[in-house]
Amino acid sequence: MADFLTPRERSERMARIRGRDTKPELAVRAILRGLGARARLHRRDLPGSPDLVLVRERIAILVHGCFWHRHQGCARATHPATRRRFWREKFARNVARDRRVARLLRRLGFRVIVIWECRLRDPERVRRRLAREIAAREIAARTTPPRRASRQAGARHLSREEPRDERERSRRERSSRRG
Ligand SMILES: [Zn+2]
């Protein structure tokens, strides 16, 4: 059945679905509070404005709706019957974006945790997982020297992982693709 929303109303509704303070996100926030973890919300200075960031532990938590973010093998990741091409392309963009954001966050030294909406049917299990992740990061923080600003940490991370000529080559490749 057709709905009768104006484009503006529709986009507002989409923003609500995809945006902040969604029910799954509130559930994860409650779990983190229970664990005594202090989360910063939607830090816009970080790639993709991650839903929740534990600054001290350097953990980024992405709370993903199964439909929009395409939870593999999940019953909620349905395929709409109409405008198939539109949806296929939209989903592909979402998935590619999620991958890119996770990669950039990791490069900045973040542990990236994706929590799928459907997993929150069992909040105790999510709680145990988050507790384990936080404990692991706290141990790591005690045994490695403190990092300074996130950008520097990102730069150090790159320079450690990639030898100089490797970086040189990827830079050349990037600029040749552009030109
Ligand atoms: Zn799911």
Tell me the pLDDT tens digit for each residue of 23-42: 999 999 999 999 999 899 99
Residue range 107-118: average pLDDT? 97
Co-location of 119 and 176 in the same domain: no
148 CA to centre of ligand 1 in angstroms: 36
What total number of domains does the chain contain? 2
Query: Higher model confidence: residue 11 or residue 92?
Result: 92
Co-location of 87 and 171 in the same domain: no
Q: What per-residue confidence (pLDDT) applies to 20?
A: 66
61 CA to centre of ligand 1 in angstroms: 16
Tell me the pLDDT tens digit for each residue of 131-157: 999 999 988 777 776 555 444 444 444
Residue range 61-66: average pLDDT? 96
In a domain, 141, yes or no: yes
Per DSSP, 79 falls in state -
72 CA to centre of ligand 1 in angstroms: 7
Query: Higher model confidence: residue 3 or residue 37?
Result: 37
Asked if residues 58 and 99 have their Cβ atoms less than 8 Å apart, the reply is no
Co-location of 100 and 29 in the same domain: yes
167 CA to centre of ligand 1 in angstroms: 38
6 CA to centre of ligand 1 in angstroms: 30
Q: What is the pTM of this model?
A: 0.70
Q: What per-residue confidence (pLDDT) applies to 120?
A: 97
Looking at residue 130, which CATH number applies to its domain? 3.40.960.10
DSSP letters spanning 9-53: HHHHHHHHHHSSS-HHHHHHHHHHHHTT--EEE--TTSTT--SEE
> How large a percentage of the chain has pLDDT more than 70?
69
Q: Containing domain of residue 163, as a range?
A: 147-179
Q: What per-residue confidence (pLDDT) applies to 156?
A: 43
- d(CA 53, CA 42) in angstroms, rounded, equals 8
In a domain, 10, yes or no: no
77 CA to centre of ligand 1 in angstroms: 7
